[in-house]
């Protein structure tokens, strides 16, 4: 298996209407990102597809991303065709024709990548879209699952009127990064409130043996700020609400005692 350990070679991204294909030139030969191929061919298990290839058809290299240098599984032309043959879906024929009629000829014509003539000229480059993805990850840290990330992606698509985040122009991607960063204070505040609610529940309900009574669950105490965004109440307002809730609980207890008499 090929292993390129002498720094991270530059990536080129070839784009069609149905897939983005990352290509790396190593020793003047093109190598292709396995995950991109499997996405185009709708192969659901890229790791298994990669593992099933012969050693002389696959390799591992490194790639620079906003999150740092990461390993990338790659295949040469022989490995590329083996993966294509694994798929029986109509997409496989379409993908093969695109690679053999456009990508490979463009590479061989110049001896390198060149600029694919079919790529949208104003489309945000791969590195900028990776910065956007990193920004989304940074503001959704602490949320369970991927619901928050999916919601922000949908917000971006609706705001800019694109079908996919990958279709953003350079300016739109830059604006989207700013938009996402503006969400950071709101998401951080919400995460802190969720963490506090969990602590309250553990302390007030799980720790006691009898009569658990959650005075005022943090996440139930919501407010709307001047931007119309729903937020957890600030600590002082929450404290007042909890105190009022305890007062109501005491009054209800006295009322019930009076009825029993």
pLDDT in tens, 120-150: 457 788 788 889 999 999 999 888 888 899 9
Residues of the chain with CATH 3.10.260: 2-110
The SS3 assignment for 17 reads coil
DSSP H or E stretch at residue 134? helix 126-139
The SS3 assignment for 125 reads coil
Q: CATH number for 2-110: choose from 3.10.260, 2.40.30, 3.30.60, 3.10.20.
A: 3.10.260
- What residues does 63 pair with on adjacent strands? 70
User: Is the separation of the CB atoms in 87 and 34 below 8 Å?
Assistant: no
Distance separating alpha carbons of residues 84 and 37, to the nearest angstrom: 8
- What residues does 58 pair with on adjacent strands? 75
State the pairing for strand pair 68-75/20-26. unpaired
Q: How confident is the model at residue 106 (pLDDT cuts 50, 70, 90)?
A: confident
pLDDT of residue 42 exceeding 60 = yes
Q: CA 164, 168, 174 angle in degrees (round to 5)?
A: 130
The pLDDT assigned to 229 comes to: 55
Torsion sign across C-alpha atoms 68, 69, 70, 74: positive
Taking only the tens place, the pLDDT of each residue in 215-248 is: 555 445 555 566 655 556 555 555 554 555 555 4
Segment 63-85 mean pLDDT: 80
**The pair of three-digit structure tokens given for residue 257, joined into one six-digit string:** 């005692």
Distance separating alpha carbons of residues 37 and 15, to the nearest angstrom: 12
- Burial class (CB within 10 angstroms; exposed 0-12, middle 13-18, buried 19+) of 220: exposed
User: Is the separation of the CB atoms in 53 and 82 below 8 Å?
Assistant: yes
User: Is the separation of the CB atoms in 219 and 197 below 8 Å?
Assistant: yes
Q: Which of 60, 87, 49, 67 is nearest to 4 (CA)?
A: 60
Task: Write the CB contacts of 99 (distance below 8 Å, at least 6 apart in sequence).
Answer: 21, 80
């Amino acid at each position: 298996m090929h292993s390129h350990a002498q720094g991270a070679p530059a990536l080129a991204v070839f784009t069609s209407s149905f897939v983005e294909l990352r290509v790396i030139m190593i020793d003047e030969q093109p190598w292709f990102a396995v995950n991109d191929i499997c996405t185009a061919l709708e192969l659901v298990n890229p790791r298994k597809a990669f593992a099933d290839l012969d050693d002389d058809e696959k390799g591992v290299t490194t790639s620079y991303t906003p999150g740092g240098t990461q390993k990338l599984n790659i295949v040469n032309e022989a490995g590329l065709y083996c993966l294509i043959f694994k798929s029986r879906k109509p997409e496989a024929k379409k993908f093969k024709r695109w690679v053999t009629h456009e990508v490979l000829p463009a590479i061989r014509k110049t001896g390198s990548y060149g600029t694919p003539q079919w790529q949208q000229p104003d489309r945000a480059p791969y590195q900028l879209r990776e910065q956007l993805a990193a920004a989304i990850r940074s503001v959704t840290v602490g949320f369970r699952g991927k619901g928050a990330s999916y919601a922000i992606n949908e917000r971006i698509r609706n705001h800019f009127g694109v079908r996919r985040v990958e279709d953003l122009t350079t300016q739109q991607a830059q604006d989207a990064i700013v938009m996402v960063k503006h969400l950071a204070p709101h998401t951080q505040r919400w995460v802190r409130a969720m963490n506090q609610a969990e602590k309250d529940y553990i302390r007030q309900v799980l720790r006691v043996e009898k009569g658990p009574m959650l005075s005022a669950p943090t996440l139930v105490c919501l407010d709307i700020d001047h931007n119309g965004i729903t937020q957890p109440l600030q600590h002082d307002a929450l404290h007042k609400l909890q105190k009022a809730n305890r007062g109501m609980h005491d009054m209800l207890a006295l009322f019930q005692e009076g009825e029993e008499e």
